[in-house]
Each structure stands twice: as structure tokens, then as C-alpha cells.
A and B are shown apart, each in its own frame.
Chain A
Amino acid sequence: MAASALASAETGNPGAGDFGHALAQRERRFAAALLAPAFLALLATTTFPLIFLVWTSTYRMNLAMPFMNGFVGFENYRMLLIDERFWSSLLISLVYTGTTVALQVAIGLALALLVMDMKRGQGWFRLIAILPVVLSPAVVGMIWRTFMLAPDFGIVDFLAINAGLGSQNWLGDPTLAMVSVIAIHTWQWTPFAFMVLLASLASLPEDIYEAARLDRATAWQRFRRITLPLLRPAIVMVVIMRTMVALTAFAAIFTVTGGGPGTATEILNLYAYRKSFIELSIGYGAALAVALLIVTIVISGVLFALRRAK
């Protein structure tokens, strides 16, 4: 292709404009050729599985009962709408996402504000704070299950006993299990919010705070009226990124509670997994996954719209 473009440029066109046009076309083709492998790889690894998922969700595909398999149209989705376990797992997903994101932003912002005023050791603090982020969520889950939350021997339980609260069944009690998985996710990902907000805070000019002091704003007013509005873009960005990740969280909960006790910590993602690979109902599992995809897209869309709003 490139060769033919070159030939037409050399032979046919005397005008400089035509030559430039041919050159631009040649460049574009070359660029397309360079991009093609990556584009194909992306198609094969993301777009195709996604389409396959949607397609699967319109079939009854049960590995335990292969003789019942076949195209069912929207049957899986109709079942889903009346499936109480779907609604409860969706609710758990939303609670899990809402609380973990809110906690990450609140704690991350508080930490960033504290660290901003540190005269020394900021570098060390940042280095240590970032450690949880680099761990695999599955490893984090294992650490918390065995090292932190184990009855009597876990650090958290030990502290609870010493604080006079007594030994708690952190992963066995439905409410405590939910609190625990929220705490684990928050523990792992708050450093991310912290780092982003700290960088954003550090970029705010010093002199407007001095101006605000002379304008007689209290520390709280300076935070409310100046810091918060100026951090808003960073906060919104953190909320969007963390929401998308929290909605699709899996590994930490899977290793800590596996969705239990019962379905107390069964987020939508886990329910889809259990349906597909424990109960082997692949078609219905695919419908659940598509539902999760739609929820994620809708929530992200709303957040992006909010971001553009002001």
C-alpha cells in the first residue's frame, strides 16, 4: 500500500498540494500498520470476550445439565429481575463501593493534609504509605484473614480483647464480616487517594492561604472555601477511579470470606462467579456479569457528568 501511494505521488501529480496529500495519506497508512498489532490484540483480549459474554448471557448454558442448553433470548435477564439474591448482592456491592470510596477519600484527604504540614520525613511516610497498594489483593486478603482477624491470635482481635470488647468473630458474624471486608479494601487503597490528593495539595499556591489569613478566614473556612474547591477535580477523579475498581472488586473478598457468611459479603461480582463456576450455570452467570457491567457504566457515566457539571 505504501509503495503504491509513493508511486502515484512520483508519477501522476505535479501539484505540491497533491504531493502533500499523498504524503499525508502514506503517513496515515504507515501509522495504521504500526497500530494494527496492538489493535488486534486488544480486540482479541477485551472486545471479543465482552461480546462473547453478552452472547453467552442469551443462552441457557449449564455445565451440570448440558442437555438443557440452548438459546433463550432474554430469559436469563427476566430471571435476574426476580432473583432476590441478585438484588441483595447488588445492594451489597453498592454499600461496599459507597463506604469504601467515601472512607478512602476522607482518610486519604485527612492524611494528605497532615503530611503536608510535616517538616521532615514526608518522603519516608509516602514510601511506607504506598506499600499496601503494591500488594496483590489476594495476598492482602490472606494477610488479614490469618494475621489480623484470626480469633484470639489476630492483631485486631488481640486489640479488641485488650480494649475490653472481647474476642469477636470478625469473619463469622454477617455485620462484622461486611465491616471487615470494607476495612480491608479501605486499608489497601487509601494510600492511592492519599498520594493523588497530596500531589494536588502540594500544587496549590501558598500565597492564597496567606491572603485568606489576612482576609480573616479561620482554618476551617480556609479548608472549606479554598482547599476543598481547589481539590475538587482531584477528588472527583479519585472517586471515579476508585468507584470503578470497588464495583468490580473480587480477590480480597474471595480470599477472606468467599462471600460469606452465607451471602453477607457476596458482592455482585462474587455472585456471578459463584453462579458460573460453583453452580456451573454459565449463561445466568454471564447475565449477572453483564448486569454488573451496566451498573458500572451507569454509575461512571453519572460521575463523569457530575465532573463536567461545574
Chain B
Amino acid sequence: MTGRGHVKFRDIVKMHGEFAALKGVSFDIEPGEFFALLGPSGSGKSTTLRILAGLDAPTAGHVFIDGKDVTSTDARDRDIAMVFQSYALYPHMTVAENIAFPLEMARLPKAAIGSAVKEAAQKVKIEHLLGRKPGQLSGGQQQRCALARAIVRKARLFLLDEPLSNLDAKLRLETRAELKKLQRSLGVTAVYVTHDQEEAMTLADRMAVFMAGEIQQVGTPAEVFAQPNSIDIAGFIGNPPMNLVPARYTNGDILVAGHRLKTAARLPDERDVIAGLRPSALRIAPDGLKAQVDLVEDLGDMAVLDLNCGGTIMRMRVGDHDVPREGDTIYVTARPQDIHLFDPTTRKRL
């Protein structure tokens, strides 16, 4: 751990004319942490990253890095490295010149630059491409070049703006794993923007979930997955996402499509709720809710079922053994602790 790269966002607001891209965002990032900003497009995660980098100025609020208020500090002077979604490689320079650029700007001696460039290129396995221009590289190689340029300087913060989104599916999985190892070995604080919840879940130590210009939840991926604190997050995290069905709470039970399910939640009064049930939390039980299998999506080692429970559609994940057939009638239930309850009006967790 370098002990550098402590980030504090306090009430950051960003207005684009009348439109509020960020409506008062606050969070903390600890040194050495891999922190993901997760959210659908237009939720303000990239704006947050750009404000942290110093490329855009916030309309209100303060940014602190390592205890210093850097709100009005230019990007040049923040000691931050960034990997752009488009990679933003200098097209007229070779890979080696691209990687060397930040060091040249820091006025390092030539010899030191040469060895640092080699080392960075080795870390991302592109040492055989140093003489090429970006235009002669594949997407994955360009991405590695951008990574090398970002890590060569040993900046205190390492920002990644959807770095994997332009890679094909297989390469994305490989690079994802390498990225995590790289960040671990460098011990650098990383901030990672993505709209892909799987990326955020697998990479991040902690993550902030953005919705419509606000942070809805900050926590470890496991926490956010286990305890989503709003309907929007519940519907966003998980693949396939959580089933959200209207229900009636009465005295420790909920009534879903005419069937009673036990829940661990305790509410003071009888009331309408939205019940959240993860597709993986549903299980087949003879005393469960009656459901007709509308559709089976076979994914090889598992299958996703579309269930029709008396007009309420739910999805369920089952293992590759005893997969029901389309048209079958089955009975499903869930353990009391797997049932999440949300307020239908405030959309918050109950």
C-alpha cells in the first residue's frame, strides 16, 4: 500500500444548464482501494470521474485528495493517471513514445524513462509492440498501451473510464482478471467507472451505485447484492435482476399472488409492499406458490425460467439437473431471509 490516494467527495453538484447531472454526491475512497462507480448510462458516474480527474469543474461542492482541497486545481497538478474509454492514445507517437510521454512531461532523465517504459510495457505484456503506432494495434493492444501509459508514472490515483467496454467478450474477461491483479500488485488506489454490474462486482473492493445523478448505495459488492437499499438498485444488480412483485405484508407473512410466504422482515403494520426475490433464491417446494413455466432459457450449466404465477411474471434460476419443461406447473418458494421488502412509494428498503 502506498498510503496515497485518499479521495473525499463532498456534496458535489454538476449542472448542465437546467439539467442536474449530479445532485449532491458525497463519498470516500480509502487508499489502495479498488472503487467502482456503477450505474446505467446517464446516471452521472462518468461526470463524477471527470470531476475527480479535474477535467470538469463541479458547480458546487468540494473534492479532497489526501486531505487537500483540489476543487479548483487543474488536472495537470492533481497527480492522477487515467485510462480513457477511447484509450486516447497519441496517434502520431509509437507505443514507446506514448508510454514515455507522461515521464517526459515530468522531466525525468532519458535513461530512467527508457527502463520505466520497458517495465510498464512488460507489466501489460506489450514489450514486443513498442515500435508500433496506435493505428497498427488491435483494440486489446491499444487498451494495454493506454494502461501502460497510466501506470508508468506511479500516480497517486488511477482512474479507469469503462476501459473494457470496447473489447470483445472473451478479451474482456481476460483483461478484467489481469486488471485486478495489476491493481493489487501496484497497490494503487483505483477508481473504475462501469455500467456493467458484473465488472463492478468482480473487480471492486467497494462500489457506489449511481442512479439519476445521485449515489443510492455505497458498499462492498456483497453488501449491495445482499441488501440492496432501493427498488432501483434491486432491479439493476444481479443477472437476471431481482424479481420485484407487488405484495401485501401481514404479521410476518407476505401475500404474493394469493399465496402466503414467510419473511424475516418485521413491520409494525399491515401494508402494501414490493417484494424482491432473487431468481437464484427461488426454489421448488411442494407447498409453494403455484407457477406455470412459460419459457426455459438453457445456459448450459444452468437455466433461467420465466414463471407465470397467476398473472405475476417472475424469473427463476435453476441448476442443469431437473430443469422443468415449458408448460409444466411447478411450486416455488423462498427462504424468509431471502425476501426483500421495499416501500412502493418511496422505493426504499423496509
Asked if B330 is at the interface of the complex by the 8 Å CB criterion, the answer is no
- Residues of A contacting B80 in the complex (Cβ-Cβ under 8 angstroms): 214
Q: Are A211 and B105 in contact (CB under 8 A)?
A: no
B299 within 8 A of A: no
Query: Does chain A have a CB within 8 A of B320?
Result: no
**Residue B102 lies at the interface, judged by CB distance under 8 Å to chain A:** yes
Decide: A213 and B75 in contact? CB cutoff 8 A. Answer: yes
Tell me if A208 and B76 are in contact (CB < 8 A): no
A215 touches B86 (CB 8 A): no
Contact with B along A275-304 (1 / 0, CB 8 A): 000000000000000000000000000000
Q: Is the CB–CB distance between A208 and B89 below 8 Å?
A: yes
The answer to whether B84 has its CB under 8 Å from any CB of chain A is yes
User: Can you sample 24 A-B contacts with CB below 8 Å?
Assistant: A210-B53, A210-B55, A210-B75, A211-B88, A211-B89, A211-B90, A212-B90, A213-B55, A213-B76, A214-B54, A214-B76, A214-B81, A214-B82, A215-B101, A215-B105, A215-B153, A216-B76, A216-B77, A216-B102, A216-B106, A225-B90, A225-B101, A229-B92, A230-B91
Cβ-defined partner of B102 (8 Å) among A215, A218, A229 = A215
CB distance from A174 to the nearest CB of B (A): 44
- Write the chain A residue with the least CB distance to B83: A211
Within residues 224 to 239 of chain A, which ones have a CB less than 8 A from any CB in chain B? 225-226, 229-230
Q: Is B206 an interface position by the 8 A CB rule? A: no
Q: Which of B140-174 contact A (CB under 8 A)?
A: 149, 153
| B88 lies within 8 A of A230 (CB) | no
| New A-B contacts (20) at CB < 8 Å, excluding given A216-B102, A225-B90, A226-B90 | A205-B86, A208-B88, A208-B91, A210-B53, A210-B75, A210-B84, A211-B82, A211-B88, A211-B90, A213-B54, A213-B76, A214-B53, A214-B54, A214-B80, A214-B81, A215-B105, A216-B105, A218-B76, A221-B105, A226-B92
B198 / chain A contacts, CB cutoff of 8 Å: none
Q: How far is the CA of A213 from the CA of B84 in the complex (A)?
A: 13
Contact with A along B58-101 (1 / 0, CB 8 A): 00000000000000001111101110101011111000000001
Residue of B nearest to A215 (CB): B102
Query: Roughly how many angstroms separate A216 CA and B53 CA in the complex, as a whole number?
Result: 12
A117 in the interface, Cβ–Cβ < 8 Å?
A: no
Majority-rule SS of A interface residues:
helix
Q: Min CB distance, A201 to chain B, in Å? A: 15
Contact residues in B for A212 (Cβ distance below 8 Å): 90, 101
* CA gap between A211 and B147 in the complex, in Å: 12
CB neighbours (8 Å) of A211 from chain B are: 82, 84, 88-90, 149
Instruction: Provide the bound-state CA to CA distance between A72 and B85, in Å.
Output: 72
Q: Are A217 and B86 in contact (CB under 8 A)?
A: no
CB distance from B57 to the nearest CB of A (A): 13
Q: Which residue of A lies closest to B53 (CB)?
A: A214
- Chain A residues near B106 (CB-CB < 8 A): 216
Q: Given A214-B53, A215-B149 in contact, is the A207-B101 Cβ separation under 8 Å? A: no
Report A226 CB to chain B, min CB distance, Å: 6
Residues of the A chain whose Cβ atoms lie less than 8 Å from the Cβ of B101? 212, 215, 217, 225
Nearest CB in chain A to that of B55: its residue = A210
Beta-carbon contacts of A155-190 to B below 8 Å, as 1s and 0s? 000000000000000000000000000000000000
Chain B residues with Cβ below 8 Å from A210 are 53, 55, 75, 84, 88
**CB neighbours of A226 from chain B (8 A):** 90, 92
Residues on A lying within 8 angstroms of B by beta carbon are 205, 207-208, 210-218, 221, 225-226, 229-230
Separation of A202 and B129 alpha carbons in the complex (Å): 30
In the bound complex, residues from chain B placing their C-beta under 8 Å from that of A207 are: 84, 86, 88
In the bound complex, what is the Cα–Cα distance between A208 and B145 (angstroms)? 14
Chain A residue with minimal CB distance to B107? A216
| B92→A213 contact, CB < 8 A | no
Q: Which residues of A contact B54 (CB under 8 A)?
A: 213-214
A207 to B102, alpha carbons, bound, how many Å?
15
Q: How far is A116 from B188 in the complex, measured between Cα atoms in Å?
A: 37
Q: Which 8 A-B pairs have the closest CB atoms?
A: A215-B102, A211-B88, A207-B88, A213-B75, A216-B105, A229-B92, A216-B76, A208-B88
Shortest Cβ distance from residue B17 to the other chain A in the assembled complex, whole angstroms: 14
A218 to B74, CA, bound (A): 11
Name which residue of chain B comes closest to A310, CB basis.
B92
Q: How far is the CA of A207 from the CA of B50 in the complex (A)?
A: 12
- CB B65 to nearest CB in A, in angstroms, measures 14
Q: Give complex CA distance A214, B156 in Å.
A: 12
In the bound complex, residues from chain A placing their C-beta under 8 Å from that of B81 are: 214-215
A223 smallest CB distance to B (angstroms)? 13
With both chains docked as a complex, state the minimum distance between the C-beta of B165 and any C-beta of chain A, in angstroms.
14
Complex Cα–Cα for A225 and B75 (A): 18
* A253 CB → nearest B CB, Å: 39
Are the C-beta atoms of B76 and A217 separated by less than 8 Å?
A: yes
| B134 shortest CB reach to chain A, Å | 10
B82 cross-chain contacts in A, Cβ below 8 A = 211, 214
Most buried by A among B77, B80, B88: B88
B70 to chain A, nearest CB (A): 13
Whole-angstrom distance between the alpha carbons of A216 and B73 in the complex? 12
Which A residues are CB-close (under 8 A) to B91? 208, 230
Q: How far is the CA of A238 from the CA of B292 in the complex (A)?
A: 73
Q: By the criterion CB–CB under 8 Å, are B74 and A213 in contact? A: yes
Residues of A within 8 A of B105 (CB): 215-218, 221
Bound Cα distance A282, B279 (Å): 96
Complex formed: what's the CA distance from A290 to B106 in Å?
55
